[in-house]
Each structure stands twice: as structure tokens, then as C-alpha cells.
Amino acid sequence: MKHVLVTGGAGYIGSHACKALARAGYVPVTYDNLSTGWQDAVKFGPFEQGELSDRARLDQVFATWSPVAVMHFAALSQVGEAMSKPGLYWRNNVEGSLTLIEAAVAAGCLDFVFSSTCATYGEQDNVVLDEDSAQMPVNAYGASKRAIEDILVDFEAAYGLRHVIFRYFNVAGADPEAEVGEHHQPETHLVPVMLEAIEGKRPALTIHGTDYDTPDGTCIRDYVHVCDLVDAHLLGLRWLEDGKGSRVFNLGTGKGFSVREVVDASRAVTNREVPMTEGPRRGGDCTKLVSGSTRAKEELGWQPQRSTLTEMIADAWRWHQSGHYDR
């Protein structure tokens, strides 16, 4: 069986990717330091604990499992923290990724699927973004991801490292079978924060800004279900296995929802009220951030199956109610 090294496989997206890989006949090998991931999310293949910065440990893991590809999810990703501690993000995300990439090349593992972000585009307010949009990151998180994209391009030129880069928009939802789900500490994403407020695990959901130039005054974002997202990663892996060239893909639905629309959908799904307060705008929040790309659909054949507000919230709610969330 083919092994795939999944960095950050104990985290939110990585654990869902491991489940999808296992179902597709691969053996996902999770490599994670458990700083933000969870040991009990590793259910679908072997676990190797380690740091991205530990070249000797990475060499050992590559030698043990001989993976055919890497799916690289491991990263620090809190925008506020990136603003206040940029050095941490450059050191962890960029230096760590460079060490991983060098280890992969040394092991002859030349297919690389990278988890990037729409944050590389920066604050292009009210612009529908595609893969050719200018990259103008405004914090160390987006800048570090863009730098890793550049590293991959250089390593392809030098060593033939083939890569697929996915720039995500807002990821939401959970495994429909509630085996894994979204659980960050601290939690900052809209859907889980909203569900925590519904459950009384936090006093209220704060809506940051109600005076944007949108129909209801709140920000609009493009949401994609985590299971649809990892389906794209499998298609990206097969793209590389088929010998196709390195490529960048946006992953979004092209449809935006406002914060109030998400709240209304959660009320309908859970049949509960959402405790809310209104606060000022946060620095760096755009009015509207939506993908305008169809490249993933046209070239990969990616067709999102669960990326409706109802299904994303229902799956996340099922995860919250399963008891796993309280671990």
C-alpha cells in the first residue's frame, strides 16, 4: 500500500485528510508535534511525533515509511498572533517547511501537496479572487505561506519537486460521522464559536462590525466544507501521480455568506437561539472575500458536495454533540 506523510495530521483539516486517504486506499502517516493537534484525532494510520525543524527525525520517518507523497498541513495559523509575533511564524512555518521540503527531496519523495491560504492575497476588498490575483499578504501568516509557495517553485526548478498548492477560503463543517471535527484552543472560527455560544460554553458570539457595505452590514466570506476540501487534496495527489505539472488552485465555492446569514442558518439547524453581542470592526477584516476561480472544478474535476451552510453547520453541530469535542 502507498504511504502518504501527513504533517499536521492530528489537527482539524489534517485529521479529515487522513480519513479520506485511508478510505481511498492509502496509508496516512501522521507527523505532528501535538502543539495544536490532538492525539485522539489520529485514528486512520500510524503516528509519528516530531517537530518540522527536526531534520534527523524527519529523515528517520521518511526512511521508515518511504512515503510516495507529502501532504503538508502543519502550520501556525492565528492571524492575531501572527501580527504580534511575526518571528514565531517565520521561524515555524517557513523554516520548518524548508526543513521538511529538504528532507522530502533527500528521500526521493517528489510529490508535494501544500495547504496554503487565501491570506496570501491580502486585503483586496470586494475583489473576486482567482489564482492570478496579486499576492499582497498583510501579516506574517499570509506572508509565510506565500514564502513556502516560492520555496516549492525553486525546489521544482532545482530538484524536480512536483507540487500542488491549495489556497483555501473559510473552512467549516466536520466529518459527517463525527469521528473527527474542528477543535482549536483557543477557538476563533465563526461556526465553532457560534456553536459554543449556543451550548453555553462561552457567554456570546461577538459580531465584529455591523456597518460594512453589505446587505446586512456584516462581513461576507466564502465557506467550504472540510470534507470537500480534503476531497480536493486527494484529486491533487492523483494529479501529481498522473504526472501532471505543478499547479495552484483556489478552494472556495464562489458564493459568499454574511455573518448574520451564518447565524440564521445555525438557528434553523439547531433550533436554538444564538447569544450575540455586537462589537467594533477588527483590523484587517475585509468587507467581502470570495473565490472567483473555477480552475479546481475544470482541471481537477472537483465538485463540492457538502458546502452548503445547512450541511456545514449540521455536521459541525453533530460533532459538538458527539462528546468528542469536550475532550
* ω into 28 cis (within 30 of 0): no
CB 317 within 8 A of CB 270: yes
Question: 286: helix, coil or strand?
Answer: coil
Cell numbers given for 162: 512536483
Distance from C-alpha of 259 to C-alpha of 221, rounded to nearest angstrom: 8
E strand or H helix at 114, and its extent?
strand 111-117
Question: 34: helix, coil or strand?
Answer: coil
Residue matched to cell numbers 469535542: 325
Q: Which residues contact 312 (CB under 8 A, 6 or more apart)?
A: 172, 173, 191, 223, 225, 306
Distance from C-alpha of 129 to C-alpha of 167, rounded to nearest angstrom: 11
Residue matched to cell numbers 482549536: 184
Residue matched to cell numbers 462528546: 323
Which residues are tagged catalytic?
A: 141
CB 224 within 8 A of CB 172: yes
Can you list the pairs that 98-102 forms with residues at least 24 positions away whose Cβ atoms lie under 8 Å? Answer: 98/148, 98/151, 99/52, 99/53, 99/54, 99/55, 99/58, 100/7, 100/52, 100/58, 100/70, 100/72, 101/151, 101/152, 101/155, 101/161, 102/55
Alpha-carbon torsion (62, 65, 69, 70), positive or negative: negative
The DSSP bridge pattern shows strands 111-117 and 69-72 to be parallel
The DSSP bridge pattern shows strands 256-258 and 220-225 to be antiparallel
